[in-house]
Amino acid sequence: MKRSQLAREIVEILALTLLIFLIVRFVVQSYHIDGQSMEPGLYTGQFVMVNKTAYLFSPPERGDVIVFRYPHDTKVDYIKRIIGLPGDTIDTDYKNVYVNGKLLNESYVNIPYNRSGEHWVVPANQYFVMGDNRPASDDSRSWGFVPKDYIIGKAAIVFWPLNTIHFIDTYYDTYKDIPNPKK
């Protein structure tokens, strides 16, 4: 093999390695589930793949499971489900969540629980998030909204352990009939 051909192959391998590194670094990220706030869909010890480019060309939607920097300590990342978009009104009673006056039929919640009589209006460029395991979730009901800039990406796939591999459901049907917020 000629030296020039060997040098070319080394440069190609290095370029491919750099490309793969950049894709992994800037497009996807893994997130380790630590805690029970997203049960029954996500459990402690699982790893999820986070799509960091999901919101470059379209905004987050209700039902998306996102990883974000916790607003009160940005060194800590959380994973929760988006319930409310900018402009939405969120109301709760002990067992139910209402978005813009529409009752959510949340089949993914095993134990519905809220403080009764709570009311929020989601500010511009912020999101209202909740864990699926309502009694065990520290979320927007306690500490407020998630700024759009704090969203790392959309959790897309559980990839570890191997026997739990699956796409993360956004429960489109739960949110499809919610009216847009009143302007």
Distance between CA 92 and CA 98 in Å, rounded? 6
Neighbours of 25 (CB within 10 A): 10
Q: Is 63 exposed, middle or buried (0-12, 13-18, 19+ CB in 10 A)?
A: buried
HEC states along 55-121? Answer: CCCCCCCCCCEEEEEECCEEEEEEEEEEEECCCCEEEECCCCEEECCEECCCCCCCCCCCCCCEEEE
Q: Determine the longest span between alpha carbons in the chain, in angstroms.
A: 77
Tell me which residue has tokens 């929020």. Answer: 120
Q: Which residues participate in catalysis according to the annotation? A: 37, 80
**Which phi and psi (to 5°) does residue 116 adopt?**
-75, 145
